């Protein structure tokens, strides 16, 4: 079974703080994604990575950056947290060419910025 873990389930940070969210997967998937989930808006893609050290902007990259130094680990960075970044953050992985065509999700990190 694919396992996708996220460093924290709940996080509370202050406005202006630098925040790191980490995601680790154990199935050697090339592709990793960061989404944020907000009520009524569904999932919106922030950034994704299709290989080590590679990254691509998603639909809402402003205020975020990412790092992928190792294949199994994908970090989301909020350079200076703001209250409008309070949200649920979901990490996902995907194997290129997979017949099942399934993205595997972590349990999520609920971030509150005060």
Q: Is 4 in the site for other proteins (CB under 8 A)?
A: yes
| Separation between Cα atoms, residue 73 and residue 52, nearest integer Å | 9
Q: Is 43 in the site for other proteins (CB under 8 A)?
A: yes
The DSSP element (H or E) to which 104 belongs, if any, is strand 104-105
Q: What tokens does 82 get? A: 């703001």
**Of 19, 90, 111, 113, which lies in the binding site for other proteins, with binding defined by CB under 8 A?**
90
Shortest separation between residue 41's beta carbon and other proteins, angstroms: 6
**Of 45, 57, 60, 67, which lies in the binding site for other proteins, with binding defined by CB under 8 A?**
45
Shortest separation between residue 15's beta carbon and other proteins, angstroms: 27
* 50 or 65: CB nearest other proteins: 50
| Separation between Cα atoms, residue 66 and residue 56, nearest integer Å | 9
SS3 85: helix
């Amino acid at each position: 079974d694919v396992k996708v873990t996220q460093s924290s389930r709940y996080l509370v940070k202050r406005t202006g703080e630098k925040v790191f969210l980490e995601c680790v997967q154990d199935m050697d998937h090339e592709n990793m994604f960061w989404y944020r989930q907000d009520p009524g808006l569904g999932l919106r893609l922030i950034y994704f990575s299709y290989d080590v050290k590679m990254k691509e902007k998603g639909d809402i990259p402003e205020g975020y950056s990412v790092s992928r130094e190792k294949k199994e680990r994908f970090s989301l960075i909020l350079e200076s947290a703001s209250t409008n970044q309070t949200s649920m953050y979901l990490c996902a992985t995907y194997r290129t060419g997979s017949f099942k065509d399934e993205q595997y999700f972590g349990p999520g990190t609920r971030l509150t910025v005060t």
